[in-house]
Amino acid sequence: MDLSNLTNTPGARERRKRVGRGCGSGMGKTSCNGQKGQQSRKGHKMKLGFEGGQMPLVRRLPKRGFNNARFNAKALGINLETLEKFFEAGDEITVATLKAKGLSDNKRPKMKILADGELTKKFTVKVPCSAAAKAKIEAAGGTVA
């Protein structure tokens, strides 16, 4: 490569069009804005996709594609006071036993034990627990696996 091979990139030396400079220029009178109406006026700005009040194409077409909200299942919270009410001392608490007692929700397959309420009985818990719930279960003499 040397100085004899250098050229401008296409469009680098083109001047911008100066509109509204007389009929002879071909861009006089309406200055390429058409005749009358909102789009010919000064200060005209319409948001992208605006179709003059008609229902925009984006809103006429159905939504498609992946949306993670469908699969982002929140855990069903089960409080300690509920365990105290439905289970006897020494019981083993699993997902199956919670379903058997009717404490599960078919819409939310995940479950988590939360620390709301007091606990006097001791249980063996084999369900995910919050840190505070785990502390209360172990303070009552139970275990968390």
The answer to whether residue 11 sits within a structural domain is no
Q: Which residues contact 76 (CB under 8 A, 6 or more apart)?
A: 104, 105, 108, 110, 111, 112
Q: Is 29 left (phi over 0), alpha (psi -120 to 50) or beta?
A: left
What pLDDT score does 124 carry?
Answer: 94
Is residue 120 situated within a structural domain?
yes
Are the C-beta atoms of 111 and 98 separated by less than 8 Å?
yes
Let me know if residue 133 belongs to a domain: yes
pLDDT at residue 100, as a whole number: 92
CA–CA separation, 134 vs 125, rounded Å? Answer: 9
pLDDT at 22: 92
Tens digit of pLDDT at every position of the chain (145 positions): 789 999 999 888 988 889 999 999 899 999 888 899 888 888 888 889 999 899 999 999 998 888 888 788 788 999 999 999 999 999 999 999 999 999 988 778 889 999 999 999 999 999 999 999 999 999 999 999 8
**What pLDDT shows up at residue 115?**
94
- Res 83: pLDDT: 93
Closest Cα to residue 127, out of 89, 98, 106, 100?
A: 98
In a domain, 10, yes or no: no
User: What's the number of domains the chain is made of?
Assistant: 1
Q: Is 117 inside any structural domain? A: yes
Which domain CATH number covers 118? 3.100.10.10
Residue type, 111: M
Give domain status of residue 44, yes or no.
Answer: no
Q: How far apart are CA 30 and CA 36, in angstroms?
A: 9
Total length of the chain: 145
* Residue 91 is assigned to a structural domain of this protein: yes
**33 lies in a domain?**
no
Give the pLDDT of residue 62: 93
- Local structure of residue 6 (DSSP, 8 states): -
pLDDT at 66: 86
pLDDT at residue 59, rounded to an integer:
94
Q: Does residue 17 sit in helix, strand or coil?
A: coil
Domain range spanning residue 132?
A: 76-144
